Structure 1
Amino acid sequence: MFAAYLTVTIIASVFTGIAAVTYLIGHDYPKTQADMKRIPRSWVPVLGVLLAAGSSGLLAGFAVPLLGALAAGGLVLYFVGALLAHLRVGSRQLVGGAVFLVTAVAALAVNLSYHFG
């Protein structure tokens, strides 16, 4: 079980960490996504910080299991919100967000089952 917990948590942390970097360095993709979802571009760095906090929290969960569970739960909420933002504007480009959501759900599930199950 530890191998699954370790693998899924690291994959989820890397995915969200890479997304956080693209949001924080001012890459065009997050800006065009914000425009498409009709959210202010000023939110892009804030969203990047939330992703970075989630990514870091997943890794911190190796030392403090509750922190990892809370970070994974926060990422699940983040990606549910992202998918809802897509649906709100009629976008059907849901695959990327769904992959991130499934990864966050998996990280939450393995964390809870390994530490608290």
Structure 2
Amino acid sequence: MFIAHAVVAALLALAATGSAFMTFTKNPQVVGSMTKAGVPEGMLPLLATAKAAGALGPLAGLLVAPLGVAAAVGLVLYFAGAAVAHLRVKDYEPAPAAVLTLIAAAALVLRTTSA
């Protein structure tokens, strides 16, 4: 079970790092998506920092279980909130946020069930 957790944690860290990088560099697709969801452009650095910090957590959680649980919970809440924000403004393209929510939830379940 630990190997499955390590694989999912690495996938989550990679996905969150990519998302943070695209937000930091103001990728037009990411900025457009966040603008559609009603996120002010001034919030992008803060959100990118949150994603970058969240990317480190699952990997650190391989050594310190409570840290991995906290990071996974934070990322589940972050990406679920992003999906809800898109749906709230009738932007029915929340797939990236929904997929990242599911990956973070899988990491959370695997972290809490692995030794």
Unpaired runs of 5+ residues, structure 2, are none
Which blocks of at least 5 consecutive residues in structure 1 are unaligned? none
Hey, what does 1:49 align to over in structure 2?
49
Give, in whole Å, the separation in 1 of the partners of 2:89 and 2:69: 31
CA contact (8 A) 1:8 1:107 kept: yes
* TM-score calculated relative to the size of structure 2: 0.94
SS at match of 1:56: helix
The letter of the residue matching 2:6 is L
Match in the other structure for 2:68: 68
Q: How far apart, in 2, do the equivalents of 1:34 and 1:91 lie?
A: 10
Q: Residues of 2 paired with 1:33 and 1:45: CA distance?
A: 15
**Superposition CA RMSD, Å:** 1.0
Q: Letter of the 2:111 partner, please give it.
A: N
Which residue of 1 is the match for residue 111 of structure 2?
111
Q: Which position in structure 1 is the counterpart of 2:30?
A: 30
- The runs of at least 4 consecutive aligned structure 1 residues that moved more than 6 Å come to none
Structure 2 Cα separation of the partners of residues 54 and 60 of structure 1: 10
Distance in 1, matches of 2:57 and 2:18, equals 14
Q: What fraction of aligned residue pairs are identical, expressed as a percent?
A: 34
